[in-house]
Chain A
């Protein structure tokens, strides 16, 4: 697998994510995106570095197994299948995502970054994924979809990280991974409590907590 193919797939998953209304599917796609990105370092031929390899394995394990496990459990608990009535509709989201990806291509070109040996589409893909994550976070109202948005956002950051993967200390990478795990974990608890408190997982209810 060439890195370009992976990047193309990641971009595709972005579009799928903003277009789908089924939460289960969104989780599946986000997980697939995570696994694809986990494979990225190996595709980039960095498998010879032992710590990078270990990190890739850890990333695949966390994103491909642990997080979907947590999310599915949360889904079962709240018994919600679909994201109905988002802040921004699916067609509009898709259009925005397209605009964002286009912008990313332009931005990546003029940003003072030095991709070096990295694949040429790495930076645009990272920006696009970031943007998609934000779009999901801003436009969706169910707590679970928010978590998915957060996952996608993190994937974007991870892609950025690949730019520097050879220089970045393993400690930082581990930190990001741990951060992600804790984030999802905490969100799981929050979802539980939102439901217990408001009998719904609509995050609009959180506004009631404002003092």
Chain B
């Protein structure tokens, strides 16, 4: 399998980052928000502690639920891991790259969403059903923005594989051109929407009626809930890599590339924290407009590439 296990060190690093790093990101975001609010805030490693605690706890199940309830967290995390194999971290190629992996990447997130929605509906709760309906509707708008961005990059790089698509930009030296900025803007909306962040969704809200993602996982507890939390943080890293790969310049030195990537992840987390501190969540009716703006940005990027 060419392209697979070519650089053993890099692959090992890639897997380690994908496996261990994710819970750090929500901690960084929370710390940023606390700092902006003038509070001490929870430790940066809080999610690691939470996961360890949840792994020891017994899970409580609703009488209404079936095995589908567990398929949500399991499927979402498994899909996230497989997707993390397809995306390059920084300037190092992804462990698995082949023509068309970009579609598999997007559809793996679709799979995660499908199973999460079903797990929410499995509880029979009106609130979780509501969250599921919102997730389904909003993601239908996030999907075209993601795909149009891919189309623009595919047209520009003549490739259908994430690694060359995302990395050949840096190599070409033509960074931060007009189309690229528009793609980044489109994907930023996707990033915020898919990760259930302000201004699309508020992960820290206390009213179930206003939630999207959080309300869907209300009934999870113990180890399944640990998977949910870990899966969400993995998503922050994997989708974050999508944006960082376009932004980061190649340095020519692998260790510097890695360092840049890790710093970039941290910076992205801080940026998300800043956005969350500065903005409020949109009204539900405004969310589709925000996502359509993302679609338009990606579409314009595509159009700009044609002329």
A and B in contact, CB less than 8 Å: no
Binding site for A on B (CB under 8 A): none
